[in-house]
Amino acid sequence: METRVVFQSEQNIDRNVMEEAGRLIRAGELVAFPTETVYGLGGDALNTASSAKIYQAKGRPSDNPLIIHICRFEDIYEICSQVPPQAGKLAQAFWPGPLTMILPKADRVPGETTGGLDTVAVRFPSHPVARAFIEAAGGFIAAPSANVSGKPSPTLAKYVLEDMNGKIPLIIDGGAVGIGVESTIIDLTGREPELLRPGYITREMLSEVLGRVEQDQTMMEAHPTGRPKAPGMRYRHYAPKGELTLVSGEAARVASYINEQCGLAKAEHRKTGVLCTQESLPLYQASVIDSVKSMGSRESQESIARELYRVLRECDDEGLEVIFAESFSDEGLGQAVMNRLLKAAGHRTVEV
Ligand code: TXA
Ligand code: MG
């Protein structure tokens, strides 16, 4: 199958492109599209054959449920059997936007979309192209991130093409995404609201609306004793091919440890890389490090979230074998960044 990439600006959405994308979805095909978090791989959420195609294109286990994307709040009633007042409050505060809610599913949502669960993940994205696409496609789009399972989520259309070329007919290219990490997931089906995946909407922000919010304790742990409640959080994710280690401590000490370790790796002819920040860039020694990459500024957690997946993908593109990354505080958006970095590193961490 030939994969076409069509550019769409947020300001000037081409109806013809949206109509074509809508036709493809109704015909049971898949279309990749930009959202404010990461690119999604969309299919008709109410068509079991489309869900099967999504799992196949991603190489994803079919017990890992998909998020259904909607483009009008009211549509939540079409796919959920119960919508508690908390969902309305959260929607008021954060929709459209990077928040996914887990709710009891309505009968018309096929088990193929929800990985056999009787709950469903619902998200109303804010990206104008995503909204226009969902609307043109009938209103209910199942979409995981548009990467092959195990790779970082795509933040640029070129990474979608890398992973999906020949597998899907159309990629809508909306340029670089704004947020860079996947939506926050909150489960509203238990006794207390519970955060299952950290994202741009932080636990503090959720608490301001709901009061107390629990947190899946397995989220940040290296060797969780329980089972993560979001099935996707169980799998090793976002892992570069090289060996990634997170280093925490005072900036100068971190840099000197990393320089030393890279020197040792270099002596064994291994290709080395560092993921650092603008502030610490001058501390690293080009003589022993093949690739020094800034993820953004320590002053802006947003900048780190936005660049994180790009730099992880570049590590593979450049064939880096031994990689070190600086650590961050897990306050606010830092929790989402550290959750992804810890997974990418397989929880390999060093404190200096
Ligand atoms: O920002 C995002 O959410 C992106 C964009 C494309 O919208 N999508 C995304 O989808 O990250 P995906 O499939 O890569 O991650 C969905 C996560 C998985 O960890 C999955 O296990 C969890 O949501 N999930 C889906 N339905 C669930 C349910 N009913 N109960 C618990 N977890 C669920
Ligand atoms: Mg994903």
Closest ligand 1 atom number to CA of residue 39: 6
Residue 256 pLDDT class (50, 70, 90 cuts): very high
- State the average pLDDT for the chain: 96
217-244, pLDDT tens digit by residue? 888 888 877 888 888 777 666 788 999 9
Predicted TM-score (pTM) of this structure: 0.97
As separate numbers, helices (DSSP H) first and strands (DSSP E) second, the chain gives 10, 16
On the CB side of 198, CA atoms within 13 Å amount to 25
Mutate to test the pocket of ligand 1, among 112, 126, 182, 201 (most ligand atoms within 8 A of CB): 182
1-28, pLDDT tens digit by residue? 999 999 999 999 999 999 999 999 999 9
Residue in 140, 342, 108, 101 with CA at minimum distance from that of residue 230: 101
Q: Tell me the CA–centroid distance for residue 121 and ligand 1, in Å.
A: 7
What pLDDT sits at residue 325?
98
Q: Tell me the CA–centroid distance for residue 67 and ligand 1, in Å.
A: 5
Mutate to test the pocket of ligand 1, among 145, 189, 236, 238 (most ligand atoms within 8 A of CB): 145
Residue 65 CA, distance from chain mean position = 14
52-111, pLDDT tens digit by residue? 999 999 998 888 899 999 999 999 999 999 999 999 999 999 999 999 999 999 999 999
- What percentage of residues in the chain have a pLDDT greater than 90? 91
Please give the residue that has the higher pLDDT: either 239 or 338: 338
| Cα four-point dihedral sign 173, 174, 176, 181 | negative
Cβ atoms of 31 and 44 closer than 8 Å: no
Cβ atoms of 285 and 335 closer than 8 Å: no
Across 245-262, average pLDDT? 98
Across 249-265, average pLDDT? 98
What pLDDT sits at residue 161?
98
Q: Looking at the DSSP assignment, which residues form a beta bridge with residue 186?
A: 101, 195
The residue nearest atom 13 of ligand 1, judged by CA position, is 144
Please give the residue that has the higher pLDDT: either 116 or 226: 116
Q: Tell me the CA–centroid distance for residue 49 and ligand 2, in Å.
A: 20
Closest ligand 1 atom number to CA of residue 40: 6
